[in-house]
Chain A
Amino acid sequence: MSNRRTALYDRHVALKARVVPFAGWDMPVQYAGIAAEHKAVRTAAGLFDVSHMARLSFGGPDALALLEKVFTNSVATMKDGQVRYGLVCNEAGGILDDILVYRWPYGFAAVVNASNRAKICAWLEAHRAGLSVEIQDQTDGTTMIALQGPRSVEIVAGLFDADVSALKYYFATPTRYQGKGCVVSRTGYTGEDGFEVMLPNALGPTLWDELLARGAAPCGLGARDTLRLEAAMPLYGHELNEQTDPIRAGLGWAVKFDKGDFIGRDALKQVSGPVRVGLELEGTRAAREGCPILAPDAAPVGTVTSGSFAPWLGKSIAMGYVPRELAAPGTRLLVDARGTHLPAAVVPLPFYRRPKETA
């Protein structure tokens, strides 16, 4: 079976990206190199094709009711144009996906992980019984581009009919690009300021070219992964899966027990078990996903879920799950990297926080 290709595929090939299969898509993993792309996003601006992420729209009188039922965060308290992060859980509190919900005057939208698209669509289908809601999967007809980094505002100036620089963090606006409707949000997955744009496929390559011409560096999934790791953002299939839950994953802030009932609520009230922590390692050797985390006496106490040499911080960092009593910052642990025990310490998350703008 061949993989899907985004509307920007030819651009990636022309830019000599290394293209790899990812969640059923052929996606660029890197262009110039992960470290260079990573640093471009921290210091200037990087451009990502994130068209593989699934985009769903919700209409009808019961759209709000369906979303409140399947989403751990509150939807009713969102303002028009607001974007909110939260989880979709099963009855046991296991995480089916982490998603962004958008609220519009006329309905809602959600961005879902590519790897969970079919699962989430089936879940919504299974829980819409008796509700009057229309769900459309708009993924195939649209392109999604993320522009990330401190130069993002300057790069998008004048491109859209709306003044998107006025958007607050985690807000979005419908606007127009070259006369066609699109959505621009002040969101991203890198720890930097930036925008994500959803627009018709026919205009995807045009916007991509224009943003590159204005100085954004093309970036692949490799840099996206190291950037989100430094920002301590969890990734589905790594930090998040059906065997863990939002509370232990450190996402309790995105679970609103007081909003009323939602799927998984009762189970989430009584979870216990290992929790997500950040680790900083001595030396430059990296801890990789699956490496055992050990107590100082070498007893296994957990597992690494993501780990890399962090290109911007210049040190080796990792996330993983350990028992709550070993989760306090400063706790000394070891990571077993192919038999070598690397000293590590629990550190507060995120590893990287972007500097506050100076007025």
Chain B
Amino acid sequence: MSAANPTDRRYTTSHEWAKPDGDFVVVGITAFAVEQLTEPTFLELPAVGKELTGGAAFGVIESVKSTSDVNAPVAGVVVERNEVLLDDKATGRKADLSPVNDDPFGRGWMLKLRPAAGGSLDHLLTAEQYDAQLAAEGH
């Protein structure tokens, strides 16, 4: 595992990232998480408007082998979802999870949140700290 975790965002110990974007925070999972999952097959995300609790599961990601929770790095309200990753019941378009697989730090983003009042990312790991965690876990 190369230490290529971008420094423009913060990380959770459970392998999510949170990137400041103006008044908002964009959330996804790390390349390490994707590597551990291998080949995501299904993603469940909360609806726009849903209030998330920091540190609690907001969704589920499945791969061929496993089902895992995805956790909210910070508390906040969902203002946008990456609809490409989800089935569109209206048009019948199938979810495409390849962005999570191919570009987890970019096109594979999952949610945009409006953080709760007074919320900050300071409690989350820096890229350097997250690299150190992966190294300590032997990756």
Which A positions have Cβ atoms within 8 angstroms of B? 30, 33-35, 38, 222, 225-226, 283-286, 288, 308-309, 311, 337-338, 340
Contact = CB atoms under 8 A, between A and B. Distances in A.
Contacts of B42: 283-286, 309
A226 B64 contact: yes
Q: When A and B form their complex, which 4 residue pairs have the shortest distance between CB atoms, in order from nearest?
A: A309-B41, A34-B64, A284-B42, A35-B39
Interface string B43-79: 0100000000000000010111111000000000000
Contacts of B60: 338
Contact of A338 (B41, B65, B67, B95): B67
Contacts of A33: 38-39
Given A284-B95, A286-B67, A34 B38 contact: yes
Nearest to B69: A338
Contact of B39 (A34, A285, A337): A34
A233 B64 CA distance: 18
A332 to B, nearest CB: 21
A30 B62 CA distance: 17
A222 B64 contact: yes
A354 B63 CA distance: 24
29 contacts: A30-B38, A34-B38, A34-B39, A34-B64, A35-B38, A35-B39, A35-B64, A38-B64, A222-B64, A222-B65, A226-B64, A226-B65, A284-B41, A284-B42, A285-B62, A286-B41, A286-B62, A286-B67, A288-B66, A308-B64, A308-B65, A309-B41, A309-B62, A309-B63, A309-B64, A311-B64, A337-B67, A338-B67, A340-B44
A281 B41 CA distance: 14
B7 to A, nearest CB: 27
A38 B38 CA distance: 13
A338 B66 CA distance: 13
Nearest to A30: B38
Nearest to B62: A286
Contacts of A34: 38-39, 64-65
Contacts of A308: 64-65
Nearest to A223: B64
